[in-house]
Amino acid sequence: MKCPFCGFDESKVIDSRPSDDKIRRRRECIKCRGRFTTYEVVEIPLLMVEKKGGIFEPFDRNKLIKGIFTAIKKRPVTIDQVSEIADYIENYYANELKTVAKSKEIGEIVLNKLREIDPISYIRFASVYEDFTDIASFVAAISEFENHDYSEADASEK
């Protein structure tokens, strides 16, 4: 960190404190002993989504949430659970340092999360995401849940 007074490249941190969504640091120049404040923020790279047709667009959290809300309409899924799914997706790509995600990958993550929360919401989301073209493929998706007894009580416990 360059000193704003003398331009020297080295300084020491005297004090660090969290401040809003950043870290405030008081520094002292090793050469001139001038004191100054810096703020450290986490830089989140812009996530681009590659659509089916090869077109790229910026990741839109609101668009994702809107799609999930369509699937969970009148189901026992909370707003917090939907936010957790969106947070998970954003954090996953940020932690992996990926700047491009395929829409198919994002859809699969949402499907896996909805499968854990509510099977009906999962089927609803899958019906749009998987773009079922015939009844047989839709029935195959539903039959995935035949081996497990999903009652309303089960879904609310998860």
- Write the pLDDT tens digit of every residue in 107-157: 999 999 998 999 889 888 988 777 677 777 777 777 776 655 544 444 444
Going by C-alpha positions, the residue among 72, 60, 43 that lies closest to residue 106 is 60
The predicted pLDDT at position 146 comes to 60
The predicted pLDDT at position 90 comes to 92
Cα of first residue to Cα of last residue in the chain, in angstroms, is 48
* Residue 18: pLDDT over 70: yes
pTM > 0.85: no
* Dihedrals phi, psi of 85, to nearest 5 degrees: -65, -45
Element (H, E) at 100: strand 100-102
The model's pLDDT over 37-89, given as tens digits with 9 standing for 90+, comes to 999 987 777 899 999 889 999 999 999 999 999 999 999 999 999 999 999 99
Distance CA 73, CA 69 (A): 6
* Residue 23: pLDDT over 60: yes
How many C-beta atoms surround the C-beta of residue 72 within 10 A? Answer: 21
User: Would you say how long the chain is, in residues?
Assistant: 158
| 3-state class (DSSP) for residue 148 | coil
Environment class of 77 (CB within 10 Å of its CB; exposed 0-12, middle 13-18, buried 19+): buried
The predicted pLDDT at position 44 comes to 72
Q: Where along the chain do its domains lie?
A: 11-40, 48-157
Beta bridge partners of 60: none
Q: Which residue has the higher pLDDT, 104 or 139?
A: 104
